[in-house]
A and B are shown apart, each in its own frame.
Chain A
């Protein structure tokens, strides 16, 4: 078996693949964490200040919305490069796992916030009305009614965002971001070792499959329908 693997994939260094996989997972994990921490409040803000919502604020919504759209329309490759000075300030380096996380978060947060906004809009207005009628504060309406009711939608949003982040982490390999993408660029592309490219792509595919399956299962579990 080992001999066969060596013959078919002569350039693959499995130890390095292992480290690169761990790097990808930690980039994904940390950037997802910060994306949720920043994107969820931003999504709630977009929802509440949006048209015909509880705290309709045309000006505020317009500004936040424009900001989100600007960030979303910048290609991620460009964002990676443009953000290097900022990344150095925040993470101390623009290289490796730590250097990849700030651009990943900035790239994914506006996208995630929009998905959260959409998920919250799916919540029946009657639920909000009923909660208001109980004498709930705005905070209570958000925490006790809106977010629990939108939970399946938010989990779906996290799943989609995580998968987008997987491809972003691979792209960050271009500027020395580390992880499987970095491996694919340095060995697969620059040294022309297609077997390394193949292995990294397969691993990324497996990761995406796992994320989608787990996400779908959680959505079903929390849907209560």
Chain B
């Protein structure tokens, strides 16, 4: 459990305080994948680095499992950091060390395990991320995806409770991004590891996160379960991120439908409702005709969802709307 109480951070630049994070309260539950999305400069990177105090807060209190990490002395902070793994956009592996030595590094620094115990742990970690054949290579000989796997193995070496991901997939191509996200999801399930990730891509949030916070100008403007924020964004920033993920331009959409006759509705299905034959049933019962103007059927983490924009004509449209409202579906009447 990570708890932020009125945490804020300002940087001092040539005599002026530039706020990076406004006073913020935040709770992240144990074992969840929590995403923070925002444009660059929104404060998400600062927020992430406050958790392991790579950034010192200007004020407020951060508790991890009841321990006030803002009050830790240097030695306490080092012990705490061994319980928090971190991976980076540019991997930050040591070019001078082999893959195995990179993964072993946090264990050697902690100095608690014997050499053989470290070797065994490293071998197991490399097998877990699928790099057992690359133990003696140097990072420069690996692809981006492989480097991030080394980063993940290294972050997990000290068996932490929390994994911080700093734009971990932003430097990777889409296919590799998918593989790395899948690996993160597996680790989250198997180890009950709390993952906090920051990104500027809604797609990353949609694929692995349980909950999301949207940041803008140092403030969390919206937060909640991913399905809630993704399907029904409230704040302008959230809406923009969702539109980016859907590859649609909000204004364009309305113009496109100007010439379409009839009532326009947007239906949002979640879970099993996505697979129910609702459209056909309602059309048959009320005699309306429908045409699908826009739509998407996909998954949010493990939950299927569908979002369809329909134009209804003919038949008993009000009865159809009432019938949709009674069903297991979220309805918005757009026109």
List A residues at the B interface (Cβ < 8 Å): 124, 126-127, 129-137, 140, 144-145, 148-149, 151, 222-225
Q: Which residues of the partner chain A approach B92 to less than 8 Å between Cβ atoms?
A: 124, 126-127, 129-130
The 5 closest A-B pairs by CB, nearest first: A135-B81, A130-B92, A126-B92, A135-B78, A134-B106
Say which residue of B88, B93, B109, B138 sits within 8 Å of A134 (CB atoms): B109
0/1 per residue, B220-255, Cβ < 8 Å to A? 000000000000000000000000000000000000
- A144 partner residues in chain B, CB cutoff 8 A: 105, 108-109
**Interface contact A133-B96, CB-CB below 8 Å:** no
Asked whether, in the complex, the Cβ of B95 is within 8 Å of the Cβ of A135, the reply is: no
8 A Cβ contacts from B78-116 to A: 78-82, 84-86, 88, 90, 92-97, 105-106, 108-110
Residue B52 is within 8 A (CB to CB) of chain A in the complex: yes
From A129, A132, A140, A151, B96 is in contact (CB under 8 Å) with A151
Given contacts A126-B88, A144-B108, A224-B138, contact A132 B54 (CB under 8 A): yes
With A149-B96, A225-B140 known to touch, is A133 a contact of B90 (CB < 8 Å)? no
- Measured CB to CB, the closest approach of chain A to B146, in angstroms, equals 15
Residue A148 contacts which of B82, B94, B109 (CB distance < 8 angstroms)?
B94
Contact between B86 and A130 (Cβ–Cβ < 8 Å)?
yes
Known contacts A151-B96, A224-B95; decide if A133 and B109 are in contact (CB<8 Å): no
Which residues from 48 to 95 on chain B have a C-beta closer than 8 Å to any C-beta of chain A? 52, 54, 77-82, 84-86, 88, 90, 92-95
CB proximity of A117 to chain B, nearest CB, Å: 19
A148 touching B78, Cβ below 8 Å: no
Asked if A126 and B90 sit within 8 Å, CB to CB, the answer is yes
A137 partner residues in chain B, CB cutoff 8 A: 78
Contacts of B108 in A (CB 8 A): 144
A-B contacts, 24 of them at CB < 8 A, read A124-B92, A126-B92, A129-B54, A129-B88, A130-B86, A131-B105, A132-B81, A133-B81, A133-B84, A133-B86, A133-B164, A134-B105, A134-B158, A135-B79, A135-B80, A135-B82, A135-B158, A144-B105, A149-B95, A149-B96, A222-B96, A224-B95, A224-B139, A225-B95
- Bound-state CA distance A148–B138 (Å) is 13
Q: Report yes or no: A224 in contact with B140, Cβ–Cβ below 8 A.
A: yes
Residues on B close to A: CB < 8 A?
52, 54, 77-82, 84-86, 88, 90, 92-97, 105-106, 108-110, 138-140, 158, 164
Q: Are A134 and B94 closer than 8 Å at their CB atoms?
A: no
> How many angstroms between the C-alpha atoms of A101 and B88 in the bound complex?
47
The residue from A127, A129, A140 contacting B94, defined by CB atoms under 8 A apart: A127
Task: Report the minimum CB–CB distance from A139 to chain B (whole Å).
Answer: 10
A131→B93 CA distance, assembly (Å): 9
Is A135 in contact with B106, judged by CB distance below 8 angstroms? Answer: yes
For residue A223, which residues in chain B have a CB less than 8 angstroms away from its CB?
A: 95
Let me know if A224 and B109 touch, CB within 8 A: no
- Cα–Cα, bound, A151→B280 (Å): 70
Chain A nearest Cβ from B108, distance in angstroms: 7
The smallest beta-carbon distance between B73 and chain A, in angstroms, is 13
- Asked if residues B109 and A140 are in contact (CB atoms below 8 Å), the reply is yes
Residues of B within 8 A of A132 (CB): 54, 81
Across the interface, do A224 and B90 meet the contact criterion of CB distance under 8 Å?
A: no
User: Does B81 contact A148, Cβ atoms closer than 8 Å?
Assistant: no
Q: A148 and B96 in contact (CB under 8 A), knowing A126-B90, A130-B86, A130-B88?
A: yes
Specify which chain B residues have a CB less than 8 angstroms from the CB of A140 in the assembled complex: 109
Given contacts A126-B90, A224-B140, whether A134 and B96 have CB atoms under 8 Å apart is no
Bound-state CA distance A222–B164 (Å) is 31
Q: How far is the CA of A137 from the CA of B105 in the complex (A)?
A: 13
For B77, give the chain A residue with the smallest CB separation. Answer: A135
In the complex formed, the residue of A with least CB distance to B138 is: A224
- Using Cβ atoms and an 8 Å threshold, which residues of chain B touch A149? 94-96
User: What residues of chain A lie closer than 8 Å to B54, measured between beta carbons?
Assistant: 129, 132-133
- Give B138 Cβ to nearest chain A Cβ, in Å: 4
A132 to B140, CA, bound (A): 22
- Chain B residues with CB under 8 Å of A130's CB are 86, 88, 92-93
List of A residues within 8 angstroms of B90 by Cβ? 124, 126
Cβ of B105: which chain A residues have Cβ within 8 Å of it?
131, 134, 144
Residues of B within 8 A of A131 (CB): 105, 109
Bound state CA distance, A133 and B54, in angstroms? Answer: 7
Give the CA-CA distance A133 to B82 in the complex, in Å: 8
Indicate whether A145 sits within 8 Å of B94 (C-beta atoms), given known contacts A126-B88, A132-B54, A225-B140. yes
Chain B residues closer than 8 Å to A225, beta-carbon distance: 95, 140
Q: Which A residues lie within 8 Å of B82 (CB)? A: 134-135
Please tell me if the beta carbons of A134 and B95 are within 8 angstroms of each other in the complex: no
Q: Are A135 and B96 closer than 8 Å at their CB atoms?
A: no
New contact pairs (18) apart from A129-B54, A134-B82, A135-B106, CB-CB < 8 Å: A124-B90, A126-B92, A127-B92, A127-B94, A131-B109, A133-B84, A134-B81, A135-B78, A135-B79, A135-B109, A136-B109, A144-B108, A149-B94, A149-B95, A151-B96, A222-B96, A224-B96, A224-B139
